[in-house]
Chains A and B, each alone.
Chain A
């Protein structure tokens, strides 16, 4: 038992102390400033993973890399969903957003925006042949699919559309093709890329969304004016020496870094791949996400959560009113609020009061607190199910509180608790997919990345499901064995 305790303490140390120190050290050791770049990684051709190499690339990635070269920054890419990308900037988890941030007044007042690196114009996308949708004016009263916080969502709302929030253009296009929404407003380049790379003829460009050019920039925090200045100097230089034009031609056969550089042509596409090819190239990264993030996250959160659950359960049944009141409140809060919300509070909320954890640590904290809330009731019921005579017999042979618990009560409570706790573990394994929204590249996030690039939603999500299912089956088998072991001392 002491060994188990020491193990838990060690785990806690590793999780809570080690990563933050590593992060601090890497920032300190190099002479160059480390600039953390927030980007979606699911927004081709600006920010996406090469299907063959899995490397992050795209126009925005290459531009920010060129800027970093000029400015002498060391880059660290942090992949974030669009709707949490500004909160991540606010929470100082990233220092700059390189993801086609369109300029608008609100952003100009709140953030430090660089000079323009991309000029484009918005287009209205409709289901092929849907004559009801031609211009922005037709969107009044219709439903569009957008990243809810994007500039294009604002344009659509201003035109009187209801906006359904989605996670990227590929998802939006899928909804449109399925007839769940009526239109999409987006950047012409992203749309052209989608049409070319998927070969889809389910959706088409209806026309321009307004006359104005849209300008895209890098977004920093307002108080990071030094970084903004460095970026602007670099952009000016890169425009002058033709670097930006070169990157642009490579992706779009036109120079989008100036207002009148010709219209983008993406008709060659990025090459369409078959479903099997997509699956084959994604199977490995998904397995890596499973083994390196999903499983460690699950096991660590479960171990810590279980230890906490025991403490909470003991507090709950203790005779102290204060302790049991606190435990009851904790359980009630955890069970009465969504796990996703708990995760967001730890990851995006706590930094606002100075408590900032790396993504993995934040996820471990949120998941283990959640496990503790649910498992505490299981543990409590299991302890109370041990006959009173067992406590008395332990007392009468001279065992104190903790020895009685460890040697007499918990081994018997385990029998009752294993089946419900196994359910908690299985739920936890699947719930770790929520880690994808707090910058964790776990199994599900890998499938999202691949789906955004390839459009193979069904195949990829089904394949990810297969991974989860296999692990669950394995865990269930382990549960059976454990139950048999614990049953060896009762008549059956």
Chain B
């Protein structure tokens, strides 16, 4: 026990090294390395097609990388050495269970109420007692300010509310890290704020997060570290104030300029 604690203390929560992924001839990730310490927020920035989503989906093993090592806490998978068939799926499943994913298009289960959406993973996949899962889910729904909507169906909610249910559903799994892929880009502008506020709260509460976003102001406020991706590699990484406030790379500067004052 002491052993693990000590190791955890010196080891980052999320460890990615040498990550490569191709779709056919299209080499999308060309060696991604980064780490994220427990309780920090990492923001991925970069132009469209640079591979941000692919990195995030690799962490959750919705995409299987061709090469590279991903470690989250005690689970580490070397994808170059991933055994085929059942053993490989088992290893992938263990790694996937370490993270929770919030999708751009919430992907809530339309035939389940808000509460049922949130407890599905804990009860059915993690086999936790239902009463306990319901109690936890209610706390989480309070946290995302939807305490009174547990019995509603997703279609009865606004886009911002739906996205907040998506966040609660991811948190309910008690993941080691929460992954957000452009959580606000499908929302009407007036709904963006409420979702970002919730994510900010999470970061402040000590959740470890990895966030893909185009909201630079939000990134500046919430990120402990910023990774700037382009063409499948990390062009620049560092504290948000440094990467956003004083980027060293030409490509980063051009990107930020374009995003911050378009036109």
Are A and B part of the same complex?
Answer: yes
Q: Tell me the A residues contacting B by CB distance below 8 Å.
A: 387, 389-390, 392-400, 403, 407-408, 411-412, 488-491
Would A397 and B120 count as touching, CB distance under 8 A? yes
Would B97 and A392 count as touching, CB distance under 8 A? no
Would B101 and A399 count as touching, CB distance under 8 A? no
Would B173 and A392 count as touching, CB distance under 8 A? no
Q: Tell me the B residues contacting A by CB distance below 8 Å.
A: 60, 62, 93, 96-97, 100-101, 103, 105, 107-112, 120-121, 124-126, 153-156, 169-170, 173
- Taken together as a complex, chains A and B put the C-alpha atoms of A407 and B101 apart, in Å, by 19
- Taken together as a complex, chains A and B put the C-alpha atoms of A224 and B118 apart, in Å, by 71
3 tightest A-B CB contacts, nearest first: A398-B125, A397-B121, A393-B107
- Taken together as a complex, chains A and B put the C-alpha atoms of A489 and B157 apart, in Å, by 12
Would B111 and A403 count as touching, CB distance under 8 A? no
Q: Which residue of B lies closest to A408 (CB)?
A: B109
In the complex, which residues of chain A have a beta carbon less than 8 angstroms from the beta carbon of B93? Answer: 398, 400
- Taken together as a complex, chains A and B put the C-alpha atoms of A492 and B93 apart, in Å, by 37
Chain B nearest Cβ from A266, distance in angstroms: 69
Would A392 and B103 count as touching, CB distance under 8 A? yes
Q: Which residue of A lies closest to B100 (CB)?
A: A396
- Taken together as a complex, chains A and B put the C-alpha atoms of A106 and B96 apart, in Å, by 75
Would A399 and B124 count as touching, CB distance under 8 A? yes
Would A393 and B96 count as touching, CB distance under 8 A? no
Given contact pairs A389-B103, A489-B155, A490-B155, A396 touches B110 in the complex (Cβ within 8 A): no
Given contact pairs A395-B96, A396-B60, A396-B100, A403 touches B108 in the complex (Cβ within 8 A): no
- Taken together as a complex, chains A and B put the C-alpha atoms of A490 and B108 apart, in Å, by 12
Please name 16 pairs of A and B residues whose Cβ atoms are closer than 8 Å in the assembled complex, sorted by A.
A389-B105, A389-B107, A393-B101, A393-B108, A393-B109, A394-B109, A396-B62, A396-B96, A397-B121, A398-B173, A399-B120, A399-B125, A403-B125, A412-B110, A489-B153, A490-B155
In the complex, which residues of chain A have a beta carbon less than 8 angstroms from the beta carbon of B108? Answer: 393
Chain B nearest Cβ from A35, distance in angstroms: 57
Chain B nearest Cβ from A411, distance in angstroms: 5
- Taken together as a complex, chains A and B put the C-alpha atoms of A396 and B173 apart, in Å, by 10
- Taken together as a complex, chains A and B put the C-alpha atoms of A408 and B116 apart, in Å, by 12
Would A403 and B124 count as touching, CB distance under 8 A? yes
Chain A nearest Cβ from B122, distance in angstroms: 9
In the complex, which residues of chain A have a beta carbon less than 8 angstroms from the beta carbon of B153? Answer: 488-489
Chain A nearest Cβ from B118, distance in angstroms: 10
Partner of A489, one of B111, B120, B121: B111
Q: Which residue of B lies closest to A388 (CB)?
A: B107
In the complex, which residues of chain A have a beta carbon less than 8 angstroms from the beta carbon of B111? Answer: 411-412, 489
- Taken together as a complex, chains A and B put the C-alpha atoms of A387 and B60 apart, in Å, by 19
In the complex, which residues of chain B have a beta carbon less than 8 angstroms from the beta carbon of A491? Answer: 155-156
Chain A nearest Cβ from B30, distance in angstroms: 24
- Taken together as a complex, chains A and B put the C-alpha atoms of A395 and B109 apart, in Å, by 12
In the complex, which residues of chain A have a beta carbon less than 8 angstroms from the beta carbon of B169? Answer: 397
Would A396 and B124 count as touching, CB distance under 8 A? no
In the complex, which residues of chain A have a beta carbon less than 8 angstroms from the beta carbon of B97? Answer: 398
- Taken together as a complex, chains A and B put the C-alpha atoms of A236 and B107 apart, in Å, by 84
Would B96 and A407 count as touching, CB distance under 8 A? no
- Taken together as a complex, chains A and B put the C-alpha atoms of A143 and B194 apart, in Å, by 85
- Taken together as a complex, chains A and B put the C-alpha atoms of A488 and B152 apart, in Å, by 11
- Taken together as a complex, chains A and B put the C-alpha atoms of A213 and B93 apart, in Å, by 84
Chain A nearest Cβ from B8, distance in angstroms: 23
Given contact pairs A398-B96, A489-B111, A490-B110, A393 touches B103 in the complex (Cβ within 8 A): yes
Q: Which residue of A lies closest to B110 (CB)?
A: A489
Q: Which residue of A lies closest to B154 (CB)?
A: A489
- Taken together as a complex, chains A and B put the C-alpha atoms of A411 and B116 apart, in Å, by 14
Would A396 and B101 count as touching, CB distance under 8 A? yes
Would A398 and B126 count as touching, CB distance under 8 A? yes
In the complex, which residues of chain A have a beta carbon less than 8 angstroms from the beta carbon of B62? Answer: 392, 395-396
Chain A nearest Cβ from B93, distance in angstroms: 8
- Taken together as a complex, chains A and B put the C-alpha atoms of A420 and B173 apart, in Å, by 38
In the complex, which residues of chain B have a beta carbon less than 8 angstroms from the beta carbon of A407? Answer: 120, 124
Q: Which residue of B lies closest to A395 (CB)?
A: B62
Q: Which residue of B lies closest to A403 (CB)?
A: B124
In the complex, which residues of chain B have a beta carbon less than 8 angstroms from the beta carbon of A393? Answer: 101, 103, 107-109
Other than the known A392-B101, A490-B155, what 15 A-B pairs have Cβ atoms closer than 8 Å?
A389-B103, A393-B107, A394-B109, A395-B62, A397-B125, A398-B93, A398-B96, A399-B121, A407-B124, A412-B111, A489-B112, A489-B153, A489-B154, A491-B155, A491-B156
- Taken together as a complex, chains A and B put the C-alpha atoms of A408 and B107 apart, in Å, by 11
**Central interface residue in A389, A396, A408, A412, by most chain B CB within 10 Å:** A396
Chain B nearest Cβ from A408, distance in angstroms: 6
- Taken together as a complex, chains A and B put the C-alpha atoms of A397 and B168 apart, in Å, by 12
Q: Which residue of A lies closest to B112 (CB)?
A: A489
In the complex, which residues of chain A have a beta carbon less than 8 angstroms from the beta carbon of B101? Answer: 392-393, 396
In the complex, which residues of chain A have a beta carbon less than 8 angstroms from the beta carbon of B121? Answer: 397-399
In the complex, which residues of chain B have a beta carbon less than 8 angstroms from the beta carbon of A398? Answer: 93, 96-97, 121, 125-126, 173
In the complex, which residues of chain B have a beta carbon less than 8 angstroms from the beta carbon of A403? Answer: 124-125
Chain A nearest Cβ from B10, distance in angstroms: 29
Chain B nearest Cβ from A385, distance in angstroms: 13
In the complex, which residues of chain A have a beta carbon less than 8 angstroms from the beta carbon of B154? Answer: 489
- Taken together as a complex, chains A and B put the C-alpha atoms of A307 and B253 apart, in Å, by 59
In the complex, which residues of chain A have a beta carbon less than 8 angstroms from the beta carbon of B110? Answer: 412, 489-490
- Taken together as a complex, chains A and B put the C-alpha atoms of A396 and B102 apart, in Å, by 9
- Taken together as a complex, chains A and B put the C-alpha atoms of A488 and B121 apart, in Å, by 23
In the complex, which residues of chain B have a beta carbon less than 8 angstroms from the beta carbon of A399? Answer: 120-121, 124-125
Q: Which residue of A lies closest to B172 (CB)?
A: A397
- Taken together as a complex, chains A and B put the C-alpha atoms of A400 and B90 apart, in Å, by 11
In the complex, which residues of chain B have a beta carbon less than 8 angstroms from the beta carbon of A387? Answer: 107
- Taken together as a complex, chains A and B put the C-alpha atoms of A180 and B172 apart, in Å, by 76
Chain A nearest Cβ from B182, distance in angstroms: 14
In the complex, which residues of chain B have a beta carbon less than 8 angstroms from the beta carbon of A390? Answer: 107, 109
Q: Which residue of A lies closest to B101 (CB)?
A: A396
In the complex, which residues of chain B have a beta carbon less than 8 angstroms from the beta carbon of A389? Answer: 103, 105, 107
